[in-house]
């Protein structure tokens, strides 16, 4: 069984990714077990930031790594918060702080179309990054709903179910979400590489 570092400190994200990769013969170890500091997300795209995070974990451990970068793009806000989703309300902002800022900016706005975007990256030492992407389209609710998930889940309306992402079960969310799409595609691309190692 191959050990792969999960290049994230976000507990909710780590749980989701570990669940989505259950079908692979790998052991996912969070970067916190190696005392790896979070990478500086200096990229201007989700792809750039996913690769930066993976390279940081590989450099610190010498092991293969999986990373993702994801965020929410709201049409009425010209794609914001985008790559700044996790720190939209400022450095160290909580999920609630970010949601509050988003809802204030959308106050009085009727067009609330939005999409979650995710780019997942697998990087083995000495190899080129393997990338996969996913998108989940929906709308921003006017108030929080549900207690599940993390990030913007309480205000993201899944159009197919009519429920907030935070109201979906973990399995329902993984079946629809941007991260679920990206990680399933990445896992399929990783299988032949893992078989060869």
CATH class of 2-196: alpha beta
Tell me, letter by letter, the H, E, C secondary structure of 113-134. EEEEEEEEEEECCCCCCEEEEE
- The residue assigned the tokens 């990769």 is 21
pLDDT, tens digit (0-9, with 9 covering 90-100), for 150-160: 999 999 999 99
pLDDT at position 85 is 97
Tell me the sheet residues that pair with 73.
Answer: 81, 115
Alpha-helical regions (H) of the chain = 11-20, 46-61, 95-105, 170-176, 178-196
pLDDT at position 24 is 85
pLDDT at position 194 is 79
Of 113-122, 138-147, 168-177, give the lowest mean pLDDT range: 168-177
pLDDT, tens digit (0-9, with 9 covering 90-100), for 88-135: 999 999 999 999 999 999 999 999 999 999 999 999 999 999 999 999
Contact 124, 64 (CB under 8 A): yes
**pLDDT greater than 80 at residue 196:** no
Contact 155, 138 (CB under 8 A): no
Pick 185 or 195 by higher pLDDT. 185
Contact 6, 29 (CB under 8 A): yes
pLDDT, tens digit (0-9, with 9 covering 90-100), for 8-32: 887 877 888 888 888 888 889 999 9
Domain ranges across the chain: 2-196
**Active-site residue 69, yes or no?**
yes
Catalytic one of 69, 97, 153, 195:
69
- The residue assigned the tokens 């790896």 is 36
User: What does the block give as tokens for 16?
Assistant: 């989701």
Pick 104 or 197 by higher pLDDT. 104
pLDDT, tens digit (0-9, with 9 covering 90-100), for 37-70: 889 999 999 999 999 999 999 999 999 999 999 9
3-class DSSP assignment, residue 33: helix
Buried-exposed string 118-139: b where 16+ CB fall within 10 A, e elsewhere: bbbbbbbeeeebbbbbbebebb
**What is the value of pTM for the model shown?**
0.91
How many CA atoms, within 13 angstroms, populate the side-chain half-sphere of residue 123? Answer: 27
- The residue assigned the tokens 């013969």 is 25
Contact 23, 187 (CB under 8 A): yes
- The residue assigned the tokens 């590489």 is 193
pLDDT at position 23 is 81
């Amino acid at each position: 069984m191959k050990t792969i570092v999960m290049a994230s400190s976000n507990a909710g994200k780590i749980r989701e990714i570990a669940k989505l990769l259950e079908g692979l013969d790998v052991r996912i170890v969070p970067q916190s077990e190696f005392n790896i500091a979070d990478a500086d997300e200096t990229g201007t795209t989700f792809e750039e930031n996913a690769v930066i995070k993976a390279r940081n974990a590989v450099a610190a451990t010498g092991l293969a790594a999986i990373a993702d970068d994801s965020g929410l793009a709201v049409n009425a806000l010209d794609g914001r918060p985008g790559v700044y989703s996790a720190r939209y309300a400022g450095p160290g902002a909580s999920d609630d702080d970010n949601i509050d800022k988003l809802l204030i900016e959308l106050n009085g706005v009727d067009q609330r179309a939005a999409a979650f975007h995710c780019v997942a990256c697998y990087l083995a030492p000495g190899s080129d990054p393997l990338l996969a992407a996913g998108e989940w389209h929906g709308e921003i609710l006017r108030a929080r709903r549900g207690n599940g998930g993390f990030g913007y889940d309480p205000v993201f309306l899944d159009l197919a179910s009519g429920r907030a992402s935070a109201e979906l079960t973990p399995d329902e969310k993984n079946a629809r979400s941007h991260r679920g799409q990206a990680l399933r595609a990445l896992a399929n691309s990783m299988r032949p590489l893992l078989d060869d190692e």
